[in-house]
A and B are shown apart, each in its own frame.
Chain A
Amino acid sequence: MTRLHELNFFIKLGVAFIIMLAAWFAPDWRFGVPLALVCLALLWGLRVPGLRGYIKGAALLTGMVMVSWMINLWLQGLSTPQALPVAAAMAARLVTTTAAFYFVMETSSPGEILAAASAARLPSIATLVLSLTFGVIPMLRDDFERIADAQRSRGMEIDDVGLPTKLRFALARGIPLLVQAIRMAHAISFSLTLYGYDLKHKRTTWREVGLMVEQRLSMKDKTYEL
């Protein structure tokens, strides 16, 4: 983890919006594609967790956008040299946007978002919505991986198989993932009630929040063991 991961959530969110605006206002592919590549390089340089998975997703997204836009533009009568830059520009915009928000999502835990929102004295409902929106997706992804491990540890061969089988097994994880998502929603709702979370009441935070958000409580003689 680099210190940039510890930036205040709202600063990260603001920067992501600016990058997104830059991508969407980019005049053409000659600006958009390099911007997307710079964003991807930054994700790699900043050692954002789960980057391999994101790159696969981004590659799939790029391919789908390129193909669908090319077909659309061909149907409208454009030639390939005319259609290609337009499709590339659109794919670049989407990659830049997703990369910017992927950084925010992967480097902001629900606790840090709660702290930043509480320190900003935001209404509790806004605090909750922000924490859940950005916090639940990584949790669900972890659960998806955990279910895959459960399948493997019960003898289901999901690695040494062809892509179609791999995809079929991944889809089969949908039902347990849905069950887990419902359980997670219940656990969050239960803990919020039990610990006195009140939508009408502004909260405080134990963390020091400024430009950066404190990651852990500093205590004397702290040792770290698993």
Chain B
Amino acid sequence: MLNIANLTIGFGGAAPVFADTNCMLDEGQRLLVCGEAGSGKSTLLGVAAGLIPRLIPVAEFSGQVELAGRSLPSLTKKELFDTISFVSQNSEDQLWDICVEDVIAFPLENKSVERSAIRDRLTELMTEFGLEALSGRRVLTLSGGERRMVTIAAAIVSSPSILVLDEPTTGLDPAARVRLSNILRKVLDSTPTLLISEQDPLPLRSVIDSIALLRRGGISPSMPPKMVLRQDAAWIDAGILPPMRAPPARQTAERGRPLLTVSGLASQLSRSRGNPVLKDVSFDVRAGEVLALIGRNGAGKTTLFKSILGLTKTTSGSILLDGMKADNWSVAARARKIAYIPQNMRHILFNMTVLGEVIFAITASSASSSDPAVIARAKAALERYALSDLAEANPFALSARQQALLGLACADATGALVAIIDEPLLSRDIKGRQMLELFISSMQSSGRAVMLISHDLELVDDLATRLMILDNGTIAFEGTPEEGWKSDPFRSLGWQTPYDMTAWSMA
């Protein structure tokens, strides 16, 4: 149905992203493309969806892309986007400040579909996706996982023949991933052909029927999942942690002095029924530990770290930083003790060079410094995270992976006591994981601590020394990950335990 032949594509770098690459997607095929960060997954999907080079020009492009025997450039935009729907890895790239219903209904409104038909379809999809509670909300106020579900709903609203999804499970909690899997299976009658990219093939295992791996500027032939999932060497060759790997030895750490102590915290931000998002939250983060925080999408994880940083108001409770009462500290004063690394680094970048960002992280006032010690410290941080060559680049021009590394470099350079890492992008990528582990060991060895917020339970199991489960506005569990996976609060989430291969084998 979709045939990509002799594709060479480059963005002006030393080597093209793909060189003379071929990829075929048959009608009804559900192909999953896996590769490390920067391997060209988004580029391949962009070409397949007709976005590159039509909407996104590139420095170098050659080859043929055909849809049902017709050259893609010969199709009108209407023909193209009526047939293929695309969901970007970063859902912000295709959202603006309209409400949930507006986003989902937009393709139908543009086709002049009758109001009653649009409303019926909206009701159907919002129910299936579990979005009823978000009715009327502005999409830019939603959490990352919620936004993703909205954009996917918009992509399938007009029943395209081919659905192209770029890392659709990013930011989704395990229950939402299962819901997405079920939805994709359900729409196969109207949208039978899927092209999906992911780093972890398991969450969508029940949807796909073939897997191809990206490596060294090319793509492997598509293979049945059963055949490729257990080939650890193939995944390692592609730069990704093998999905069926055995769990590594569990991390332990001696808990040092308390660096951050939260007592009886309640948020001013409330749910519609008047219940505060956070109520009576108490915990501490101690030197040398990696504390993981998990919870459903919308459980209040974002509100918790914003409350700790002072970005959202609290109605009660207190915060101690390094033993000092910090309730009346400004956000900036708290931030000198707590470094925050969001998944989307673009949210916190605002300087004009990569080096400037790290210098700012150190000085907290300026992106330039005449102090040789500050410059040396900034350059050392860049070198540690393999960013030295990009010191003078604009941070907004970096790839998502490079921005994530920059986040680690900045947090490391600040000397902050606690780093909060929110859903790291680097979790499944072998090189990225090495950098993440380097960062964590650097924090631990210098008597600092890391708070890890993630839906990737295997990442949590691999790296965390302690686990907290946030549910119903309170800390429902606190203890070792091993105890956590067996606890009632975890069972009540209905999530699969990490490294539970029996469940995947049955899928």
B1 lies within 8 A of chain A by Cβ: no
Q: Identify B135's interface contact among A176, A198, A217, CB under 8 A.
A: A217
Stretch of B3-11, B99-107, B315-323 lying at the A interface: B99-107
User: How far, in Å, is B153 (CB) from chain A's closest CB?
Assistant: 12
Bound-state Cα–Cα, A111 to B109, Å: 12
Give chain A nearest CB distance to B498 CB in angstroms: 26
Given contacts A110-B96, A154-B335, contact A196 B82 (CB under 8 A): yes
Task: From A109, A118, A156, A217, give the contact of B138 (CB < 8 A).
Answer: A109
Residue with the highest number of chain A CB atoms closer than 10 Å, among B55, B94, B364? B94
Q: Does residue B330 face the partner (Cβ distance < 8 Å to A)?
A: yes
Using known A-B contacts A157-B332, A217-B119, determine if residue A187 contacts B92 with beta carbons closer than 8 Å.
yes
Binds A, one of B12-20, B270-278, B463-471: B270-278
Complex alpha-carbon distance, A5 and B135, angstroms: 18
A80 lies within 8 A of chain B by Cβ? no
- Which of chain A's residues 93-141 have a Cβ closer than 8 Å to chain B? 109-111, 114-115, 118, 135, 138-139
| Residues B97 and A190 in contact, CB atoms below 8 Å apart | no
CA distance A146 to B331 in the complex (A): 13
User: Please, what's the 1-or-0 string for B129-145, where 1 marks a CB less than 8 Å from any CB in chain A?
Assistant: 00011011010100000
Which residues of A lie under 8 Å from residue B77 when comparing CB positions? 193, 196
Complex CA gap A225/B471 in Å reads 13
Residues of A within 8 A of B93 (CB): 186-187, 190
A226 to B99, CA, bound (A): 15
A216 touching B110, Cβ below 8 Å: no
Q: How far is the CA of A111 from the CA of B300 in the complex (A)?
A: 27
Q: Is B75 an interface residue (CB 8 A)?
A: no
A188 touches B96 (CB 8 A): yes
B240 is an interface residue with CB less than 8 A from chain A:
no
Binds B, one of A19-27, A61-69, A201-209: A201-209
Of residues 135 through 187 on chain A, the ones whose CB sits less than 8 Å from some CB of chain B are 135, 138-139, 142, 146-147, 149-160, 172-173, 175-176, 179, 183-184, 186-187
Encode B81-98 as 1/0 by CB contact (under 8 A) with A.
110011000001111111
User: Contact mask A213-226 → B, CB, 8 Å, 1/0?
Assistant: 00111010111111
Instruction: Return 12 A-B CB contacts under 8 Å, by A number.
Output: A150-B350, A152-B330, A156-B365, A173-B350, A196-B78, A196-B111, A201-B110, A203-B112, A204-B114, A206-B102, A216-B99, A217-B123
